[in-house]
Amino acid sequence: MFVRLVYLFVLVTITTVVIGIPLNTDLVNTSLIKRDTLADCSTERFVSKTSKCITTTTIELSCIIERNVEVSQKNCSKDETCIDYVNEQNEPFAMCTNNNNVKKWNNEERGIFSTCSPLSAYSTAIGKDIITGMTTYAANNVPIQVFGLSINIDNSSDDDTGFQQQSRSKIIKNYNGSQVEYCFAAGTNASVTAYAAALSDLKSLTSSI
């Protein structure tokens, strides 16, 4: 599938020139830990809420309370990184995820082209639904849109690529121990760093090597 992503990027690049207009495969076993921070509204009277990462260590939370929108920010702990996800209702939310859980990699060697995280296998979450998520950040630690992002399961050929986005999330139902790989193509030579993790019951899955 990622071959198609690279191919499409090359086509777009060629078109841009004409008209003027970032693989490691180390298998990782994982286990659940409890340390994560989820932003919440100040009152239980909220109608709905959404949250997003605005820096690697800051969540912006929007709560609709009695027809008013209450916007606040929450800082992550020093050992956490903000990653974006979606829930079962496809609503976006951000979580400060323990760095022991987080896959981190960049486009230093691959530049504009696709680059992927090491593989993960979340053995302790077998039989559960898990939420995977990834967010890309610029050198100044704010989210940056990249050409493409994908979350691949056992090198599946399913096309789950999102284009011109800064985050990607995928829910895996009844997870069976499949290998998960997070990838992005920066589409730029500027420095881009990606952070990715998986959740089960809103608790992150941590790697142990």
Q: Which residues pair with 97 in a beta bridge?
A: 36, 81
Q: What is the pLDDT of residue 135?
A: 98
pLDDT of the residue at 34: 45
What is the mean pLDDT for each group of 10 consecutive residues in the chain (209 residues)? 43 36 36 65 76 97 88 95 95 94 96 95 92 98 98 77 96 93 96 97 76
Contact predicate 98/36, CB 8 Å: yes
> What confidence score (pLDDT) does residue 67 get?
80
Token code pair at residue 36: 């994560």
**What pLDDT is stored for residue 186 in this prediction?**
97
Distance of CA 47 to the CA centre of its chain: 26
Question: What one-character-per-residue DSSP string does 1-61 give?
Answer: -HHHHHHHHHHHHHHHHHH---------EEEE---EEE---SSTTEEEEEEEEEETTEEEE
- Contact assessment for residue 144 and residue 186, using Cβ atoms and an 8 Å cutoff: no
Amino acid 3: pLDDT = 44
pLDDT of residue 166: 98
Look at residue 49 in the predicted model and tell me its pLDDT. Answer: 86
Residue 105: its pLDDT value, please? 98
Of 108, 89, 123, whose CA–CA distance to 207 is shortest? 123
